Amino acid sequence: MLALLVFLPLAAFMAILLGAPARLTAIGVAVVNLALGLYAACTWRCACWSFSQPVLEKPALHLAFGFPDGMSVIMVLLTVIVTLAAVLSGTCPAGREKLYFGSSLLISGGALGAFAATDLFFFYAFHELALIPTFLMIGMLGRGDRRAAAWKITIYLGLGSIILLGGLVWLANLTGTYDMGKMVLGHAHTIDPAAQKAIAALLLVGFGTLASLFPFHSWAAPAYASAPAPVAMLHAGVLKKFGLYGLLRLAIPLVPHGLQVWLDPLLILLLGNVLWVGFITISQKRLDGMLGNSSVMHMGYIFLAIAALIAFPANPLAQPAAIILMFAHGVSIALLFGLADRIERSTGTLDLSDMGGLANSAPKLAFLFGIAAMAAIGLPGLANFSGEILVFLAAFWSYNGLAGLGPVQIACIFSLWGVVISAVYMLRAYRNIFQGPSVTTTESAADITFAERIPAVLLVLALVAVGLYPNLLLNLLKFVP
Amino acid sequence: MNSLPWILLFLPFVVTVVCQLVLRKSALVPWVSTASAVATFVIACILLTPSDLTLFDGPNGSGIIARYITCKPIHWASIGNFYLDIGIQLDKLSTGMMVVVTGVGALVHVFSLAYMEHDDAKARYFTGLAFFMFSMTGIVLASNFIMTFIFWELVGFSSYLLIGHWYQKESAADAAKKAFLCNRVGDFGFMIGILMLWGITGTLTFAEMAVPAEVSIGTLSAVMLCIFCGAVGKSAQLPLHVWLPDAMEGPTPVSALIHAATMVAAGVYMLFRVQLSLPLVNFHELQASTVIAWTGGLTALVAALMATQQDDIKRVLAYSTLSQLGYMVMAVGFVAGEAGMFHLFTHAWFKALLFLGAGAVIHACHHEQDIWNMGGLLKKMPVTGIAFAAGCLALIAFPGTSGFFSKELILDAAHESGSPLFWVAAFVAVLTPFYMTRLFVVAFLGKHRSDSAGHAREVGPLMWVPLALLAILSIFSGYAFINQCSPALPEHAGEFHFNTVAAVSLGALVLGVLAGWVLYAGKDKDPVRIPLLRNRFYIDAFYDKRLVRYFQDTLAAIVHFFDEFLINGLLVGGLSRTAASAGNLLRRVQSGSLQGYAFALGVGVIFVIYFTVFQ
């Protein structure tokens, strides 16, 4: 069944290449996948979801998918939700439907494959598969300085992937298997410290680059600013989480001691994400650049949860916190990118100083964007808050008031300032775009139509559901096989 | 288990959702929202008499919250044995506070029915009010710190919505943003405090908190200071007070409910809640208490000084609110939270009255807010005028009114502590009657000084009935018989003994009223002009021009520059130059186009994997 979920978008991609109606096929597949994903969330413990097909005998390589734990389920859920929203959002340039919708499906299929894969080779290969259409779409259908942006993301993620590959191959050689489950079960404590240290560094830099860890982040903002809406939504929302997922899935269980060596540098880097990139976000003059940077900034919190897990491996809060926040951030940033695209179509600009009073002419758009902005700020009742509060609690898990504050707690305190920073730039943007008197660009802007509202409402529902009752997702994480 | 407390909490939420999603712009919204506010007030009154609830002695059984009940919590987030809960703690403090919140809330709803009658977006307004009632109820009933924080943020958000109700106005939109951000700055410290206290006590639930004896006083002091940051933001204390006067851009009933009676008092409530939850900690010993007392005292002084030179009727009241909040915070700093809560209780009624009165005046004068364009309103609007006068009397602590008793207790606490703050508080007690006399004399007495004031007429019953009710409460809510409803009271509340403190405060009252009368009676323009006070000590200008524009934006620009220069220029530049030359090489071999490169990368990656893994 899981293979169906993964291969449906890929098959649809082939069908589109062969001449199937691009938009309809993409939407159809996305709807089916959403249904399958929701069904999977209810029944994921059933053995029927795992799938394994031997590909090679030596070394033993399987095209294998499965749900080893709730984390994969949640990532799959995130992917199918954002995919449907992405194919419904944005407008395709005339004549490029095949490329536009085909690529979106390919990215989605790649991400699903990577999150569901239980075999190291395919875990890596599916992610690479998703990257290629990302590069292409930015380079061919992007806006503004699209060539430069495409070059930059290609070089960065290409190099990051190769460094990551080094680490993964090393791991595979040491453990002698490609089965990720066997790897973790059989070799959790057998890798010697020196190798752990080196592998941890490779994985941190490799996965870190893919997840825009400071200072390997500068590909992200220009790429998202230039990318067509579905690509920005899918990459920032879903594919970027691959780096974090990989750290949680492989690095934490396999090289815990190695990661501990790099804890302090990691804390400094994640503060770079939250504070340094946070300030850069404040200085942005355009909405797309601001959203791109803010998505980098918020990665800092997820890395904080990972750091808390590295520092205290027994910490029960850190991993759920990271997963909830990954889901929440994925949904909220996809919503923001989707609506930003809609704003640009209404007003013809994304320059913050060119807009104002859009809420007068487009109140529904203002309402939806307001929810998205509030989610990004971390307003309780929306998913991001649930994740962030758990991250902060996770960072203070080991504090008891007798000893002083440890490095993780100090990093947490500094990164709390990021909560103020994100309120500054988000409210400033909202104020500039939607409030105040109308100006020429916004006077006659059309409000969001019913059809355009569907993807936004879908994402808002996900944000509200997890925000009001985070146990919806946390219950998926309860079960430990 | 009794379900009333849950109805009290969630009724306004349900109403918000229904109004927003189902009723939308229908004319029903104001009525549904008002009905819900009245219903919650009834429930709050029922909960005051705990006969049908089984009260039990808590582990922290001492003083005011000796007897409390907690409703079985909802697990909002659960991880293993760790729970984040939505729970309800009912005790004298929370049930009393609920009466204030829902009581003022219900009257403000009724008043708004008339005040906002012709507003285009009144559905949005009433939905916002209902959401505010939900959030505020959550803070008051919260049984644990995370729940407090959740609703703390939601209250800030609903305040943002309501201040920015007329978001088309630049000033309203800016004020809303400013309020949210100031609150966020305070919440930064608040969150740190919550996290540290959680680490120290091992629990987030108020009723279970206990500080191990080994924890040092310094650590506890730091925790209290961090938590106090939250109150500084929400209760608009120095140096985060700047948002509250600007928040007057919102509709006047909102100012009465949120920015005078309830939300801004949440900081005081929360601080007192923390003090009560940690009965074994000697707060007198903590340096933090001194800092809290001085912050409150200085806010009271600075705000009162600024109030003396404001011309906008709402701004005078706003600064007076700041000043009174300063009194309450000071009381908490002196570990006399009961006195602070008593003042919160009486202040809620008379300040809501003053704001609604100002609203009635503004309504009658066609949105004129400058007191120098009013005058002679007492004759034209007798009910409003008399009610307003009652509010003034309570605020200036005229003997026999509610404000007199509560302020007396705060001054007592200050006197007992032996701190020089007593004299600061006494000076504020001179300033308060001074600026209120100025306001009343200029706006309500004499002759009208503009056409809009000349045409003013008494407002309708939907507006004056709430005013009259509040006027009654302003006068009488200080007496013992009403103490039953008050959140927390020291034993000798509502009594009066003549002593030094009483002499000082009566002297201050006479001095202030006389000075105000002499200076302002019969004047047509302000005889006193002190630029420093008019410009609010230039604090706002400093924040806007220096801190935000120069410091934050410059810092952001510098960081941006370094990001471009260092990370993009050197690091990435080096990489991309290498890659570009490699790309040039490839270009000769291949098509050189981006598609080609991406394809090569994809294929190349697979080849690399193939060669390293399979060979």
Separation of alpha carbons B457 and B472, rounded Å = 23
Contact B215 A402 (CB under 8 A): yes
Contact B173 A159 (CB under 8 A): no
Helix axes B145-163, B122-141, angle to 10 degrees: 160
- Report whether B89 contacts B207 (CB < 8 A): yes
Q: Roughly how many angstroms between the first and final C-alpha of chain B, as a whole number?
A: 70
**Do residue A282 and residue A365 come from a single domain?**
yes
Q: Does A426 touch chain B (CB under 8 A)?
A: no
In 3D space, the residue among A317, A326, A336, A325 whose CA is nearest the CA of residue A374 turns out to be: A336
Give the pLDDT mean for B448-470: 85
Kindly state the DSSP code that residue B258 receives in the 8-state scheme. I
Give the pLDDT confidence score for residue B591 in this predicted structure.
Answer: 42
**Do residue A1 and residue A115 come from a single domain?**
yes
For residue A388, the chain B residue with the least C-alpha distance is B191
User: Which chain A residues contact residue B169 at CB under 8 A?
Assistant: 436-437
Least-confidence region, from A81-90, B187-196, B244-253, B484-493: B484-493
Shortest Cα distance from A283 to chain B (angstroms)? 5
User: Which ipTM value was assigned to this complex?
Assistant: 0.93
User: Which chain A residues contact residue B579 at CB under 8 A?
Assistant: 151, 155
- Report whether B487 contacts B376 (CB < 8 A): no
Contact A132 B598 (CB under 8 A): yes
Contact B77 A386 (CB under 8 A): yes
User: Which chain B residues contact residue A434 at CB under 8 A?
Assistant: 167
Q: Which two tokens stand for residue A41?
A: 């969330």
Contact B77 A390 (CB under 8 A): yes
**Do residue A256 and residue A320 come from a single domain?**
no
* Domain stop point among A260, A276, A301: A260
Give the pLDDT confidence score for residue B58 in this predicted structure.
Answer: 43
**Do residue A251 and residue A273 come from a single domain?**
no
Contact B199 A427 (CB under 8 A): no
Give the pLDDT confidence score for residue B612 in this predicted structure.
Answer: 45
* Domain stop point among A260, A280, A308: A260
B:37-76 residues touching chain A, CB 8 A cutoff? 75-76
Shortest Cα distance from A276 to chain B (angstroms)? 7
Tell me the backbone φ, ψ of residue B32, rounded to 5 degrees: -60, -45
In 3D space, the residue among B450, B444, B591 whose CA is nearest the CA of residue B520 turns out to be: B444
**Do residue A243 and residue A113 come from a single domain?**
yes
- Report whether B424 contacts B301 (CB < 8 A): yes
Contact A424 B181 (CB under 8 A): yes
Contact B563 A276 (CB under 8 A): yes
Across A319-323, B342-346, B503-507, B580-584, the highest mean pLDDT is recorded for A319-323
User: Which chain A residues contact residue B582 at CB under 8 A?
Assistant: none
Could you tell me the pLDDT band of residue B354, with boundaries at 50, 70 and 90? very high
pLDDT 10s digits, B127-170: 999 999 999 999 999 999 999 999 999 999 999 999 999 998 88
Residue ranges of chain A with pLDDT lower than 50?
481
Percentage of chain A beyond pLDDT 90 is 44
Domain, as residue range, for A42: 1-260
**Do residue A228 and residue A269 come from a single domain?**
no
Contact B572 A139 (CB under 8 A): no
Separation of alpha carbons A240 and A222, rounded Å = 15
Q: What is the average pLDDT score of chain B?
A: 82
Report DSSP letters for A265-299, one per residue: HHHHHHHIIIIIHHHHHHT--BHHHHHHHHHHHHH
Least-confidence region, from A93-97, B198-202, B285-289: A93-97
User: Which chain B residues contact residue A70 at CB under 8 A?
Assistant: none
C-alpha dihedral (B234, B237, B240, B246), degrees to nearest 10: 80
Contact A165 B609 (CB under 8 A): yes
**Do residue A233 and residue A266 come from a single domain?**
no
Q: Does A316 touch chain B (CB under 8 A)?
A: yes
**Do residue A45 and residue A136 come from a single domain?**
yes
B:525-554 residues touching chain A, CB 8 A cutoff? 552-553
Give the pLDDT confidence score for residue B599 in this predicted structure.
Answer: 53
Sign of CA dihedral A73, A75, A80, A81: positive
In 3D space, the residue among B148, B68, B139 whose CA is nearest the CA of residue B100 turns out to be: B139
Of A132, A280, A360, the CB nearest to B556: A280
For residue A172, the chain B residue with the least C-alpha distance is B613
Contact A389 B149 (CB under 8 A): yes
Residue B89, H or E segment: strand B82-90
Give the pLDDT confidence score for residue B36 in this predicted structure.
Answer: 94
Burial label for B134, CB within 10 Å (0-12, 13-18, 19+), is buried
* Domain stop point among A202, A237, A260: A260
**Do residue A250 and residue A283 come from a single domain?**
no
**Do residue A88 and residue A136 come from a single domain?**
yes
**Do residue A194 and residue A96 come from a single domain?**
yes
User: Which chain B residues contact residue A381 at CB under 8 A?
Assistant: 150, 154
**Do residue A64 and residue A187 come from a single domain?**
yes
Give pairs for B578-583: CB < 8 Å, separation 24+.
B579/A151, B579/A155, B580/A151, B583/A151
The residues that bridge with B83 in the sheet, in sequence order, are B78
pLDDT 10s digits, A88-139: 987 888 778 888 898 899 999 999 999 999 888 889 989 988 988 888 888 8
| pTM of the model as a whole | 0.90
Q: How many domains does chain A have?
A: 2
Radius of gyration, CA atoms only, chain A: 21
User: Which chain B residues contact residue A59 at CB under 8 A?
Assistant: 613-614
Q: Which residue has the higher pLDDT, B494 or A351?
A: A351
